Amino acid sequence: MTPVMTKVEKPSKLSVNDLIEDRDLSRGDLKLIFEVAQRVKASPGSFARALEGRQLAMIFEKPSLRTRAAFEVGMTSMGGSAVYLDHTKPRLGEREPIKDVARCLERWVHGIVARTFAHSAVKELAEHASIPVINALTDLFHPCQVLGDFFTLREKFGSLEGLKLAYVGDGNNVCHSLLVTGARLGVSVSVSTPPGFEPKAEIVDAATSISRETGATIQTVRDPVKAVAGSSAVYTDVWASMGQEYAAHLRKQVFATYQVTETLMAAAEPYAVFMHCLPAHRGQEVTSAVIDSPRSMIFDQAENRLHVQKALLLLLLQNGSV
Ligand code: CP
Ligand code: NVA
């Protein structure tokens, strides 16, 4: 019988107490998260009591399937529990100051996961809470997503160093996280967007400066074919993110030539995979033929959200015993 472990061996710990944005994670942090995720995935039963007695608060201002389910299942499958706090209305900070929310939650739970519109809201929570805060998506970054994505690519290709990922579509939160974490991991990232929808210059600059240390290349181009040339992975996301639904009609026209089709996939490496964070709008940013093709890794990405988020919970919530 496999012994039930209550603690993960202590290889080292993360350099951060919170996960607010991708820029905060070092290469060592990324390596550690992937190593723990790999162990959790290989032997989930060994961690069945690792978070016994630990509680997590999950604040969501926006809808979620994957992030919420993976955190809740992650906590309960390791002996802990999670409480969902619906903040779609009113939003965080509207009923009472964010610092008061932080100070109440820290009396009841061991960690906070938060999905907000304003990135500053998650930062403010972390500033005032003495317990770890994890960004579950803001308008600026989606770190949990891309940790799962690069873990998926690492499983597929064995090593990440030297790979090229092409991102085609809107220069949004997912694109920002891919740029920064890709650069840190030595993965070249080439982004193709319509004019006016580029990733923020500040984030591209940060990724470029990180890439100088890792040998990756960070590139923004107009032509999707140029972006995908030589790439091992082609990634896209919705054209209108949560909160931008009002502009969906206009965006459909602007982004029409940025759809990931079989023809565009053919411009990548012959072994290239297709990736999407989901939810997807088939027939808009990607055709059904591509998303349902054998190249598509979308459900592996979704599965790995669980393993990676379990690793984050272990590393951040286990009170120094990881
Ligand atoms: N990809 C992702 O974060 O999905 P949810 O919005 O469903 O959590
Ligand atoms: N860019 C998308 C990602 C959803 C997981 C959004 O913010 O809605």
pLDDT tens-digit profile of 214-267?
Answer: 999 999 999 999 999 999 999 999 999 999 999 999 999 999 999 999 999 999
Residue 152 sits in the same domain as residue 291: yes
Does pLDDT of 67 surpass 60? yes
Distance 134 CA to ligand 2 centre (A): 16
Section 189-196 average pLDDT = 98
pLDDT tens-place string over residues 167-177: 999 999 999 99
10 inside domain? no
Contact in structure between 249 and 291 (CB atoms under 8 Å): no
| Cα 81 to Cα 69: distance, rounded to the nearest angstrom | 12
112 inside domain? yes
1 inside domain? no
What is the number of the ligand 2 atom nearest to the C-alpha of 277? 5
CATH of the domain at 92: 3.40.50.1370
3 inside domain? no
User: Tell me, what's the pLDDT at 171?
Assistant: 98
Of 158, 172, 225, nearest in space to 200 by CA: 172
Residue 278 sits in the same domain as residue 148: yes
Residue 286 sits in the same domain as residue 152: yes
Active site residue 277: yes
What's the pLDDT band for 318 if we cut at 50, 70, 90?
confident
Active site residue 115: yes
Distance 64 CA to ligand 2 centre (A): 9
| Cα 322 to Cα 320: distance, rounded to the nearest angstrom | 6
Residue 215 sits in the same domain as residue 92: no
Residue 66 sits in the same domain as residue 128: yes
282 inside domain? yes
Tally of structural domains, the chain = 2
322 inside domain? no
Instruction: Starting from the CA of residue 147, give the closest ligand.
Output: 1
**Coil/strand/helix, residue 232:** coil
Residues having CB within 6 Å of any atom of ligand 2: 137, 172-174, 237-238, 241-242, 277
Mutation to probe ligand 1, out of 88, 175, 278, 281 (largest number of atoms < 8 A from CB):
278
Question: Cα–Cα distances in Å, from 57 out to 71, 115, 134?
Answer: 10, 11, 10
Q: Of 87, 139, 144, 145, which one is the catalytic site residue? A: 145
Distance 30 CA to ligand 2 centre (A): 22
Mutation to probe ligand 1, out of 61, 62, 67, 139 (largest number of atoms < 8 A from CB):
67
Domain encompassing residue 313: 22-141+303-317
126 inside domain? yes
What's the pLDDT band for 12 if we cut at 50, 70, 90?
low
User: Tell me, what's the pLDDT at 90?
Assistant: 92
Consecutive H or E run containing 28: helix 27-42
Structure tokens at 312: 């984050």
Residue 94 sits in the same domain as residue 176: no
Protein residue with least CA distance to atom 6, ligand 2? 241
Residue 105 sits in the same domain as residue 151: no
Instruction: Starting from the CA of residue 149, give the closest ligand.
Output: 1
User: Tell me, what's the pLDDT at 7?
Assistant: 43
Residue 219 sits in the same domain as residue 230: yes
Section 28-49 average pLDDT = 97
Does pLDDT of 11 surpass 80? no
Does pLDDT of 147 surpass 80? yes
pLDDT tens-place string over residues 39-59: 999 999 999 999 999 999 999
pLDDT tens-place string over residues 268-299: 999 999 999 999 999 999 999 999 999 999 99
Active site residue 142: yes
| Cα 128 to Cα 125: distance, rounded to the nearest angstrom | 5
What is the number of the ligand 1 atom nearest to the C-alpha of 142? 3
User: Tell me, what's the pLDDT at 319?
Assistant: 58
Residue 129 sits in the same domain as residue 193: no
Residue 110 sits in the same domain as residue 256: no
Residue 120 sits in the same domain as residue 74: yes
Residue 74 sits in the same domain as residue 115: yes
Check residue 151 and report its DSSP letter: H
Residues having CB within 6 Å of any atom of ligand 1: 64-67, 137, 145, 277-278
Distance 117 CA to ligand 1 centre (A): 14
Does pLDDT of 187 surpass 50? yes
Active site residue 145: yes
161 inside domain? yes
